[in-house]
Amino acid sequence: MLLDMPLPSYVSGASHLPLLGRTIGAELDRVARATPDALAVVSRHQSLRLSYGALHEAAERCARALLALGVGKGDRVGIWAGNCAEWLIVQYATARVGAILVNVNPAYRRHELEYALSHSEVSLLIAARAFRRTDYIEMILSVRPGLPRLERVILLGDGESGMLAWSDFVERGTAVSPATLAQRESILDFDDPINIQYTSGTTGFPKGATLAHHSILNNGFFVGERCGYTDADRICVPVPLYHCFGMVMGNLGALTHGAAVVYPSAAFDPQATLEAIQAERCTSLYGVPTMFIEQLEHPDFAKYDLKSLRTGIMAGSPCPVEVMKQVIERMHLKELTICYGMTETSPVSFQSARADDLEHRTATVGAVHPHVECKIVDPETGHTVPRGTPGELLSRGYLVMSRYWSDAEATTRAIDSARWMHTGDLAVMRDDGYVNIIGRIKDMVIRGGENIFPREVEEFLYRHPKIQDVQVIGVPDVKYGEELCAWIKLREGMTATAEEIQAFCRGQIATFKIPRYIRLTDSFPMTVTGKVRKVDMRAVSIEELGLQDAASTRTA
């Protein structure tokens, strides 16, 4: 007797488009030859505009300067700055000489900076003089004695304290011939490692995901394909370049389609972003949900003409339904796509289509990317689960990092013998192959034996008319093991009490899903990429609620 077996939670991205088999430098050469006068980048806070021909020339000058300073293939070159044209130039210049670009988080402080530079053995650091209110020069001087591998520091702007000025650095390139650079490029391969990005490190030290030309160039290309980019597009990139969202989905997504990137400001600013969209007639906008919310809530929002927008990407965390509705209606982003991925997968493995309906764009993270395989497995057994069953999401293909830099043990834990990248995310695959991320394996709250996924509770609370944004976490409890705590940001001018919000939940969601604790707040602890740091929220909540004893209770 033949039985109908449920489909397994496995998908592979078929495509009529082949993978790009070239280096990032070769791709820049191709675009600059084809459209030298086309706009490549606008850095509004620098009042700077470069065509592809000019960008190619600037990247070549920078690459020759790197050679003049003795940078070899595989050497690590750090970049520590907010969004600016020089960041993009360095990205392409390091690719042309085969150096590995180490992205340093602009929000890093002394200990984090020292760790990243030491761990990756950066020999040359290119840095801004300051970022926001942080004096980078003072911080570099304080860590430099403990970094014997760090031979040179180049400052964007004037030099100081033994650090070379950017203009003097670029001038060094005149001593190196174009033929010498061409010879270096001739020995590069698209599988060479080209980038180290440090993950957020919510537990222990950050890990350096090591990515190749092949992985990030192709990921940028296929992200752009799903957005429908052409050389007529202008992509507004308020997300940080140090992260894949900016340098891959933004910079390389534009490069592979001959489109332009627009940087509104060095760090995200909602008003600067709205101004950039209007002034540059941007057709695409990137951001995490909180960035879109801040623009929608800006007091001058209605003054800006955003009708040029059509597509873009929302990623980083789940998009609330109500936010997506407003983004489509008020920001004219009718073809906005949702992306899911992680730094270790270059980053995107799933993305919605421009024509997907509202339900697919808010209840899922889209369909699998071309040339990518994904499956969902039982975290305990490793067996692929049937569709509709929760499990851990795994990804495989060109996009998977080569390794964690200098950390074989962590690499082995993350990438199994069949080259599947274990994401640590809990997911469900639907019958149509679309995937819903229901939380992190470590974020799932278990209250008295009941599994609670914070996103489900967050989605319900977004229905409350006074709530602008909400994040739900688990906090320790002696009786139930964990209880829910909701951090809530109210709309401008609104007031509410914990009792009022809890009453809103009663009779609408299961009693065990109603947050025991409500914390009204003006902001959430965030990473520089705009992701909410729930680990910090949990620590603050434990302290404020006096739950130290419950937190120290040993469990089986």
Residue 305, both tokens: 């003409």
Cα distances (Å, whole numbers) of residue 263 to 61, 269, 446: 22, 11, 42
- Domains present along the chain, CATH in parentheses: 28-42+52-188 (3.40.50.980), 214-371+392-423 (3.40.50.12780), 445-551 (3.30.300.30)
**How much is the pLDDT for 199?**
84
Residue 19 neighbours by CB under 8 Å, 6+ apart: 214, 218, 371, 398
Q: What is the pTM assigned to this prediction? A: 0.86
Residue 554: what pLDDT? 44
Task: Give the number of other CB atoms < 10 A from CB of residue 28.
Answer: 23
The predicted pLDDT at position 550 comes to: 83
Quick one: pLDDT at residue 181? 98
Burial profile 258-271: b = 16 or more Cβ within 10 angstroms, e = fewer: bbbbbbbbbbbbbb
Q: 208: helix, coil or strand?
A: strand
The tokens describing 350, both together, are 């799933």
State the Cα–Cα distance between residues 336 and 328, nearest whole angstrom.
7
For position 555, what pLDDT does the model report? 38
Please tell me which residue, 204 or 228, carries the higher pLDDT value: 228
CB 259 within 8 A of CB 235: yes
pLDDT at 201 over 70: no
Average confidence (pLDDT) over 532-540: 89
Residue 184 structure tokens: 């270096």
> What is the pLDDT at residue 203?
41
Q: Give the pLDDT confidence of 430-459 residue by residue, as tens digits.
A: 999 999 988 777 777 878 767 787 888 898
- By CB atoms closer than 10 A (0-12, 13-18, 19+), residue 358 is exposed
What is the rounded distance in angstroms from the CA atom of residue 7 to the CA atom of residue 320?
A: 29
Phi, psi values for residue 107, rounded to 5° = -85, 0
Question: Considering just the CA atoms, what is the radius of gyration of the chain in Å?
Answer: 24
Q: Is the pLDDT assigned to residue 58 strictly greater than 60?
A: yes
Instruction: Give residue 539's pLDDT.
Output: 92
Q: Tens digits of per-residue pLDDT, 255-301? A: 999 999 999 999 999 999 999 999 999 999 999 888 998 999 999 99
Min mean pLDDT across 23-32, 159-168, 199-208, 469-478 is at 199-208
Regarding predicted confidence, which is higher, 483 or 511? 483
Give the model's pLDDT for residue 406: 96
What are the pLDDT digits (tens) for 345-372? 999 999 999 999 999 998 899 999 999 9
CA distance 518 to 510: 17
Q: Identify whether 264 is preceded by a cis peptide bond (ω within 30 of 0).
A: no
Instruction: Look at strands 260-263 and 234-236 and give their pairing.
Output: parallel
Report the percent of the chain where pLDDT is more than 70: 97
Q: DSSP letter for 513, please.
A: G
**Residue 322 burial (C-beta neighbours within 10 Å; 0-12, 13-18, 19+):** middle
In the DSSP assignment, the letter for residue 291 is H
Among 324, 315, 317, smallest CA distance to 348 is for: 315
Q: How confident is the model at residue 14 (pLDDT cuts 50, 70, 90)?
A: very high
pLDDT of residue 3: 65
Q: Can you list the positions of beta strands (E) in 64-116?
A: 76-80, 100-103
Could you tell me the CA-to-CA distances from 324 to 152, 290, 327, 338, 361 in Å, in that order?
A: 46, 12, 5, 10, 8
Q: In the predicted model, what is the mean pLDDT of the chain?
A: 93
Confidence of residue 321 (pLDDT cuts 50, 70, 90): confident
Tally of CB atoms within 10 A around 469: 23
Residue ranges of alpha helices (H) inside 256-341 are 270-280, 289-296, 321-330
pLDDT number for residue 94: 98
Q: Could you give the CA distance from residue 108 to residue 80 in angstroms, rounded to a whole number?
A: 9
Lowest-confidence region among 151-160, 246-255, 299-308, 532-541: 532-541
